[in-house]
Chains A and B, each alone.
Chain A
Amino acid sequence: MKKILVYGYGNPGRQDDGLGILLAQKIEKWARDQGYDNINTDTNYQLNIEDAYNLNNYDIVVYADASIEEIDDFKFETIKPVINPAFSMHSVSPEFVIGLCQEMYNKIPEVYLMHIKGYKWEFMVDLTEAAQENLEKAFLSLKDTISNIMGH
């Protein structure tokens, strides 16, 4: 069975920036309830270079992050490795992590990014109502996607 990682990142202390982490936590609970021990989750405030090592251990990785893009609620897309010479630990992108994984381990998993639309970024813990709705939609969609991958 394919090993799947759902990795949410962002700052839950900055209101809707916590969307990615909250999605990972919902997937974690759902996977445990379903008894899917091939699904792992991880969360962090930001991506780091050591995540390239973690990628190496999975077949499918789904990153989840809050988004300020002009999208309705969420967007799910495949992402590819990139080389970014202006590397800073303050802004490690998923594409950069994949690129590093590819160069270090000569392989990469299938990698997707779930963008979830956020609206406010104040020093607060609770999501806005609209972001909460987007989180639920993204969760339902990702749950279905993972179920399909697993043939259920």
Chain B
Amino acid sequence: MGQKITIEPVTRVEGHGKVTIHIDNKGNVNQTRLHIVEFRGFERFVQGRPYWEAPVLVQRLCGICPVSHHLAAAKALDVIVGAGTGEGLTPTGEKMRRLMHYGQMFQSHSLHFFHLASPDLLFGIDSDPLTRNVIGVALANKDLAVQGVMMRKFGQEIIEATAGKKIHGTGAIPGGINKHLSQKDKERFLNGDAPMNVDHMINWAQEALEFFKDYHNKNKAVIDQFVEFPSSHLSLIRKDGALDLYHGVLRAVDKDGKIILHDIDYQDYYKYIDEEVRSWSYMKFPYLKEFGKNEGWYTVGPLARMNTAEFIDTPLAQEEFKLFKSYNGDKPCHRPMHAHWARLIEILHSAEKIKELLNDNDLLEGELVAKGKKKSEGVGLIEAPRGTLFHHYKVNENDQIDMCNLIVSTTNNNEPMNLAVNQVATREMTGKTEISEGMMNAVEVAIRAYDPCLSCATHALGQMPLEISLFDHNNNLIDKKRSI
């Protein structure tokens, strides 16, 4: 009889996941799956609500990346109120939202690197889990832990200054923003006492990159060979090919870097992307329709963005981008552990962008909201910390939401996360009779590279009851449980 090994819950990821590994009677891993067992249902909750409530309601999907949901919903509603996308907003509206978003990227990436991922780098994948955590980081490298906390705090304060609150703010409204940045906030972010000013944050972002590159030089096997598989990559990108985390057109490249989704207007995303439902997970599997369910899957997130972008428009991050691209032979990188590297480049880019915006007087004055001819449907996309986030709404003649479709970043990464987990599990567990903590964490490290937020990634109430099936090595169903 084959065995089933369950790792539950997966630690140091956001939300709760479960991994099952099926081992045959010869000890070979023959199937590994990342199961998403949480259940949220926000697509149904918002139906019937006035459309202007969406940016405030949907962000309650998550206490970790609410700004991304807030902004993606607002961008979709920009279309519905007739303001259009991107340049349709007033300069103040767009720049305030960008500042909010770069604050979110900065704090979220900092949190992930310093407090979720760095324990693996500092202590090693096989180390004792009692030390391999953020408290252990604080004990072993106090400066690193403090730096992580203060970088997160800086990003959160940017969010509070633009959105009104650190979590679940109200700043973005359909067609724009509801406030200017205060002169006092501008001054403290630019020239406040160290370390709480943007120049200090830029220095810390550079130091974090040096820390990673030094680790990489000494541990190439961990970063380069831990897991690798070819993938397509998808993200928003500025029309001129620059990395743009807030707005742009939708591009995908194949494993060799060839563009396979040609910078489309994201209002048409549904013509190009579909979602497959699989019985064993609440999380759907998106794919590019042109290439089908089996070949059309793609990766999103920091690594994907490095693979789709042609350059970065801030000088320090651009230098790091060139190093990253050069190391990977100017080809798409398919090593998920390099996502940590990409994430750190984006931290630096976000800090540079924050500084650029803080010096822009459009934040302090100017029209806040744009309007135009109302429409009944709108799509909003944003590059959230974890990857491309889709919000799609239809509203009726009473201004109520009739339809909501969300494809969150973690859902976009569903297939690659499963492939990464399977590759690691096959390597680490084949032929083994006992599962060590290190092996279990190796599987989790593969998941953690994608920085998944599993609580965001589950879908509508009543559509997919939870079903757990257990198969033996002959693929006979020996147990099945189903619940709502």
Residues of A within 8 A of B (CB): 11, 13, 44-46, 48-50, 52-53, 83-90, 99-100, 103-104, 123
B330 to chain A, nearest CB (A): 35
Q: Is B129's beta carbon under 8 Å from chain A? A: yes
B3 to chain A, nearest CB (A): 24
Q: Is B309's beta carbon under 8 Å from chain A? A: no
Contact A87 B455 (CB under 8 A): no
User: Which chain A residue lies CB-closest to B112?
Assistant: A89
A47 to chain B, nearest CB (A): 10
Task: Given A46-B167, A87-B134, A103-B145, output 4 extra A-B contacts at Cβ < 8 Å.
Answer: A50-B153, A53-B149, A86-B12, A88-B13
User: Which chain A residue lies CB-closest to B131?
Assistant: A85
- The contact of B134 among A46, A100, A123, by CB within 8 Å, is A100
Contact B111 A83 (CB under 8 A): no
How far is A49 from B455 in the complex, measured between Cα atoms in Å? 19
Contact B138 A48 (CB under 8 A): no
Number of interface residues of B (CB under 8 A): 34
Q: A99-B135, A104-B138, A104-B146 are in contact. Are A87 and B115 (CB under 8 A)?
A: yes
- The contact of A85 among B9, B115, B130, by CB within 8 Å, is B130
How far is A78 from B461 in the complex, measured between Cα atoms in Å? 40
How far is A123 from B46 in the complex, measured between Cα atoms in Å? 12
Q: Is B156's beta carbon under 8 Å from chain A? A: yes
Q: A88-B14, A88-B15, A104-B138 are in contact. Are A53 and B64 (CB under 8 A)?
A: no
- The contact of B149 among A44, A46, A49, A84, by CB within 8 Å, is A49
Contact A45 B129 (CB under 8 A): no
How far is A44 from B167 in the complex, measured between Cα atoms in Å? 7
B220 to chain A, nearest CB (A): 27
Contact B132 A85 (CB under 8 A): yes
Q: Is B152's beta carbon under 8 Å from chain A? A: yes
Q: Is B291's beta carbon under 8 Å from chain A? A: no
Cross-chain pairs A/B with CB under 8 angstroms, 20 sampled: A11-B60, A46-B63, A49-B111, A49-B148, A50-B156, A52-B149, A85-B11, A85-B130, A85-B132, A85-B133, A86-B12, A88-B14, A88-B15, A89-B14, A89-B64, A100-B135, A100-B149, A104-B138, A104-B145, A123-B45
B343 to chain A, nearest CB (A): 15
How far is A87 from B11 in the complex, measured between Cα atoms in Å? 7
Which 6 A-B pairs rank lowest in CB-CB distance, beginning with the nearest? A103-B138, A50-B153, A86-B11, A85-B133, A45-B167, A83-B135
User: Which chain A residue lies CB-closest to B9?
Assistant: A86
Contact residues in A for B150 (Cβ distance below 8 Å): 50, 53
Q: Is B166's beta carbon under 8 Å from chain A? A: yes
Contact residues in B for A46 (Cβ distance below 8 Å): 63, 167
Residue with the greatest number of chain A CB neighbours at <10 A, chosen from B138, B146, B455: B138
Contact residues in B for A87 (Cβ distance below 8 Å): 11-12, 115-116, 133-134
Contact residues in B for A123 (Cβ distance below 8 Å): 45
- The contact of A45 among B63, B138, B149, by CB within 8 Å, is B63
Task: Give B123-166 as 1s and 0s: 1 = Cβ < 8 Å from A's Cβ atoms.
Answer: 00000011011110011001001101110110010000000001
Q: Is B168's beta carbon under 8 Å from chain A? A: yes
How far is A84 from B133 in the complex, measured between Cα atoms in Å? 8
How far is A88 from B112 in the complex, measured between Cα atoms in Å? 10
How far is A100 from B12 in the complex, measured between Cα atoms in Å? 16
Contact A49 B133 (CB under 8 A): no
Contact residues in B for A86 (Cβ distance below 8 Å): 9, 11-12
